[in-house]
């Protein structure tokens, strides 16, 4: 059959989409690039925020109206199967914790609901240009009061270290130059199987070849116990000097209501330790504004944290209630207040990012050209994972070149080949 796979959401979800396509090809099916050419359409969904869910529902209805057989996979199928069934009982569903059964769903003659978790036996091997996304674990150890991803993905299940290293080796031999290790919380990797993230990084970096490793998001409470060894692992030249560590709020009271298992001071200590040992590190964090119970004092504390820590990349999201979460039943902050706070923090975050990036102008850096930017220019990555746009040809993709940084914006750099 001809199958079209459309994926949304995080890097883990994109990797799941790649794995589903890979399994279907091996079973003799043809992956097509448009739903118009497909007999079966797979929509690999995200449901992390309310607006994302609304977008997914609209897309489900659009694809259903096309008359193709539809399979809804991913986090909506896992966390809210009733929502999908209310749209139409003709839709098949495959949980994000059972992606390896996608062939069964495609070959079924009628609707099927594959929602029970199945053990994962393999990782994707698809290399997107020179980028390779490899999940190292699924699920998480946290019980955040606002998060539906824990409902969808379940408890922590780390994949065997050897399986990950073999996947990286195969990808590098196949042309991958940027390896992205992804999980709901990378720093919790291995706690259920007797290994840890620094050990995994050591073995991944020992794979032969010229490539860079991007470590995905990690929670502060998971990073703290392995901090010294994690910092040591980051000093390997193959590891991007990029730390994505979400704080979510600069107020300890809000953090407690969120169910986050660290304090603001503990977050700051992690950042300070990384900056002392790896001065060029780029710090990314996430902030939720308007969480239930966030008063003006708590918001001021968050603003003060950004001013003090000055992370050069901040993702700011307005809180939205999610089903099956405790925070959804808490007294809510009015939407206009959320919008005002979001605008304030966004302005501050842009100013900090621009200041950081302008400090890189004039520097000459060894960068990896990874592909094209949305604007059609080549995109390279600095050693601290900053995007650099430059003019050039296809032949540069996958190569390491010295670039001189000539211009900076809040979210990008421009450079020229030396």
Asked whether residue 121 carries a pLDDT value surpassing 90, the answer given is no
Closest listed residue to residue 372, CA positions, set 8, 129, 125, 18 = 129
What is residue 192's DSSP assignment? T
Contact 389, 414 (CB under 8 A): yes
Contact 250, 300 (CB under 8 A): no
Closest listed residue to residue 382, CA positions, set 362, 360, 406 = 360
Contact 179, 213 (CB under 8 A): yes
Q: How many CB atoms lie within 10 A of CB 37?
A: 12
Take residue 279 and report the two structure tokens written for it. Answer: 């001065």
How far, in whole angstroms, is CA 315 from its chain's centroid? 12
pLDDT per residue over 319-347, tens digit each? 999 999 999 999 999 999 999 999 999 99
User: What is the rounded average pLDDT for all residues in the chain?
Assistant: 96
**Residue pointed to by tokens 């399979």:** 71
Take residue 186 and report the two structure tokens written for it. Answer: 């990378």
Inter-axis angle of helices 161-173 and 197-205, to 10 degrees?
A: 30
% of the chain residues with pLDDT over 90: 93
pTM over 0.85: yes
Secondary structure of the chain: what % helix, strand, coil (to 5)? 40, 25, 35
pLDDT per residue over 72-115, tens digit each? 999 999 999 999 999 999 999 999 999 999 999 999 989 999 99
* Structural domains for the chain: 2-114 (3.40.50.12160), 131-358 (3.80.30.20), 364-417 (2.40.50.140)
pLDDT at 120: 82
Take residue 281 and report the two structure tokens written for it. Answer: 């590190």
pLDDT per residue over 255-269, tens digit each? 999 999 999 999 999
Stretch 384-399: mean pLDDT: 95
pLDDT at 30: 98
């Amino acid at each position: 059959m001809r199958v079209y796979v459309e994926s949304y959401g995080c890097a883990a979800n994109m990797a799941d989409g790649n794995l589903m396509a890979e399994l279907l090809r091996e079973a003799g099916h043809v992956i097509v690039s448009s739903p118009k050419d497909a007999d079966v359409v797979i929509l690999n969904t995200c449901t992390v925020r309310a607006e994302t869910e609304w977008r997914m529902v609209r897309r489900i209805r659009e694809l259903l109206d096309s008359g193709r057989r539809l399979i809804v996979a991913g986090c909506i199928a896992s966390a809210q199967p009733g929502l999908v069934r209310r749209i139409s009982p003709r839709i098949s569903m495959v949980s994000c914790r059972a992606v390896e059964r996608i062939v069964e769903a495609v070959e079924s003659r009628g609707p099927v609901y594959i929602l029970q978790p199945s053990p994962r036996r393999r990782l994707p091997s698809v290399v997107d240009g020179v980028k390779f996304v490899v999940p190292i674990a699924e699920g998480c150890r946290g019980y955040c009061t606002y998060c539906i991803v824990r409902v969808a993905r379940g408890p922590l299940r780390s994949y065997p270290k050897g399986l990950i290293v073999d996947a990286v080796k195969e990808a590098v031999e196949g042309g991958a130059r940027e390896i992205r290790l992804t999980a709901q919380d990378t720093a919790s990797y291995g706690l259920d199987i007797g290994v840890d993230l620094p050990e995994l990084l050591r073995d991944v970096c020992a794979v032969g070849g010229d490539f860079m490793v991007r470590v995905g998001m990690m929670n502060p409470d998971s990073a703290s116990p392995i901090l010294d060894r994690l910092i040591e692992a980051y000093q390997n030249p193959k590891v991007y000097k990029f730390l994505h560590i979400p704080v979510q709020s600069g107020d300890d009271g809000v953090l407690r209501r969120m169910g986050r298992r660290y304090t603001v001071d503990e977050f700051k200590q992690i950042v300070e330790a990384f900056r002392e040992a790896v001065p060029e590190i780029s710090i990314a964090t996430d902030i939720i504004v308007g969480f239930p119970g966030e008063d003006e004092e708590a918001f001021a504390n968050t603003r003060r944290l950004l001013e003090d820590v000055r992370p050069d990349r901040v993702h700011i999201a307005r809180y939205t209630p999610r089903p099956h979460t405790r925070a959804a039943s808490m007294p809510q902050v009015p939407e206009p207040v959320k919008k005002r706070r979001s605008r304030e923090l966004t302005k501050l975050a842009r100013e900090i990012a621009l200041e950081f990036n302008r400090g890189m102008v004039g520097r000459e850096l060894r960068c990896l050209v990874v592909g094209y930017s949305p604007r059609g220019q080549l995109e390279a990555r600095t050693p601290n994972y900053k995007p650099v746009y430059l003019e050039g040809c296809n032949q540069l993709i996958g190569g390491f070149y010295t670039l001189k940084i000539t211009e900076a914006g809040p979210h990008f750099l421009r450079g020229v080949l030396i």
